[in-house]
């Protein structure tokens, strides 16, 4: 990314459905549409969810969400092939890990960027491991990290950045974890706040259905990165396909961003107001106060990570590392305490019987209270 050009990231995620041919067609479409960077997701179901987390309704019928993620697991060779293919198109390769295993395997491939998705912003064991891996490299060879901040409080962002403080190549994406996300809730002036507060580049991960409003106004608001899902069709069965842009709409977004990024800020704002309306622009740009957006409030604690029991346990048992996991709560399970206490709870004894998948709470332990 040069000093003037916004980095446009085409999020393929798992829309390939496990097909290498489809992954290449998606990459071709993203490159043709003008993306700078093409992104994938390195999924291992047991790094993300407990099998008992609940069900999801898909076009093919009702299925366990855990099983849906199992279907999306791919071997390291798939990502190595796609890394090389994306680079052959003259584009950068980005990928999201979802736990320590996928983070280590991804890091070994030396991607151009590593993306921390919003639900993993508080996956402290993974962040610490990435910090260890990055810190072992000379600064010039460190892999840039891009953190997404959906369904988070300001304190969550601060804690994540504190873990990664030794690293220099970090940027932050403002995000709303809602599918689709209402443009009116985006509060894009937070981009400028993050840049000033943390001294790093910031941008937006946009889950709204519109191809232009949020990306254009993010540029007006000082954004340096834009991430948007791409799909060959919104009617296919990828988890994110309904909120993704087809290639034509993605190209439309890119063209608008490229036009606006050449303008002075005052000119860009005036042009956006003329194009989208002054009131809508004012609403989407927002007040710059970091709060959970209305559409994502119910997800806080459930979409991001907490500590869960991997299997049933009995009163008096001692918690071992293999007994607990840092997982998303999602559908049916109870929420656990923050992953920042993962190492703290190891060795504590249980005060009652525990069900598999249950979120760990302090009252489940004989200690009963968090450490001071």
**Any idea where the domains of the chain sit in the sequence?**
7-285, 301-364
Q: What is the pLDDT of residue 237?
A: 65
Q: How far is CA 5 from CA 27, 105, 214, 316, in A?
A: 21, 30, 17, 59
Q: What is the pLDDT of residue 33?
A: 98
Q: What is the pLDDT of residue 233?
A: 83
In this structure, the number of other CB atoms found within 10 A of the CB of residue 166 comes to: 11
Q: How far is CA 90 from CA 30, 32, 47, 258, 335, in A?
A: 12, 11, 32, 18, 43
For residue 299, give both structure tokens: 């997800």
Residue labelled with tokens 């709470």: 361
Closest Cα partner for 10 from 290, 250, 272?
250
Q: What is the pLDDT of residue 2?
A: 45
Which contiguous run of DSSP H or E holds residue 23?
Answer: helix 20-33
Q: Under CATH, what is the fold of the domain 301-364? A: Type Iii Antifreeze Protein Isoform Hplc 12 (3.90.1210)
For residue 52, give both structure tokens: 């008992």
Would the CATH topology of 7-285 be identical to that of 301-364? no
- Each of the 372 residues of the chain gets a pLDDT tens digit; together they read 446 799 999 999 999 999 999 999 999 999 999 999 999 999 999 999 999 999 988 777 888 999 999 999 999 999 999 999 999 999 999 999 999 999 999 999 999 999 999 999 999 999 999 999 999 999 999 999 999 999 999 999 999 999 999 899 999 999 999 999 999 999 999 999 999 999 999 999 999 999 999 999 999 999 999 999 999 987 776 677 788 999 999 999 999 999 999 999 999 999 999 999 999 999 999 999 999 999 999 989 999 999 999 999 999 999 999 999 999 999 999 999 999 999 999 999 999 999 999 999 999 999 999 987
The answer to whether 357 and 308 have CB atoms below 8 angstroms apart is: yes
For residue 154, give both structure tokens: 């300001």
CATH 3.40.50.2300, applies to 7-285: no
């Amino acid at each position: 990314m040069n000093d003037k050009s916004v980095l446009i990231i085409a999020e393929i995620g798992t829309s390939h459905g496990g097909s290498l041919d489809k992954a290449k067609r998606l990459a071709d479409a993203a490159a043709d549409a003008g993306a700078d960077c093409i992104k994938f997701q390195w999924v291992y179901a047991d790094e993300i969810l407990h099998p008992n987390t609940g069900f999801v309704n898909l076009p093919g019928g009702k299925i366990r969400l855990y099983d849906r993620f199992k279907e999306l697991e791919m071997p390291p060779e798939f990502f190595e092939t796609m890394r090389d293919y994306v680079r052959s198109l003259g584009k950068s390769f980005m990928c999201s890990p979802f736990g320590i295993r996928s983070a280590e395997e991804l890091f070994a491939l030396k991607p151009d960027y590593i993306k921390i998705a919003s639900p993993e912003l508080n996956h402290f064991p993974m962040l610490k491991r990435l910090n260890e891996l990055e810190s072992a490299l000379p600064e010039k060879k460190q892999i840039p990290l891009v953190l997404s901040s959906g369904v988070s409080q300001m304190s969550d962002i601060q804690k994540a950045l504190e873990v990664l403080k030794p690293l220099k190549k970090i940027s932050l994406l403002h995000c709303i974890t809602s599918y689709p996300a209402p443009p009116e809730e985006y509060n894009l002036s937070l981009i400028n706040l993050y840049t000033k507060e943390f001294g790093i580049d910031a941008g937006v991960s946009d889950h709204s259905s519109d191809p232009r409003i949020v990306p254009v106004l993010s540029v007006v608001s000082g954004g340096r990165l834009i991430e948007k899902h791409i799909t060959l069709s919104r009617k296919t069965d990828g988890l994110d396909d309904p909120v993704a842009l087809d290639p034509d709409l993605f190209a439309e977004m890119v063209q608008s961003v490229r036009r606006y990024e050449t303008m002075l800020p005052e000119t860009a704002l005036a042009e956006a107001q003329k194009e989208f309306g002054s009131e809508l622009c004012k609403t989407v740009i927002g007040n710059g106060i970091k709060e959970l957006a209305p559409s994502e409030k119910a997800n806080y604690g459930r979409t991001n990570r907490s500590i869960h029991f991997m299997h049933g346990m009995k009163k008096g048992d001692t918690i071992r590392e293999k007994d607990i996991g840092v997982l998303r709560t999602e559908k049916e399970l109870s929420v656990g305490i923050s992953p920042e206490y993962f190492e703290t709870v190891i060795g504590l004894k249980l005060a009652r019987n525990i069900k598999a998948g249950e979120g760990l709470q302090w009252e489940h332990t004989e200690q009963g209270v968090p450490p001071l």
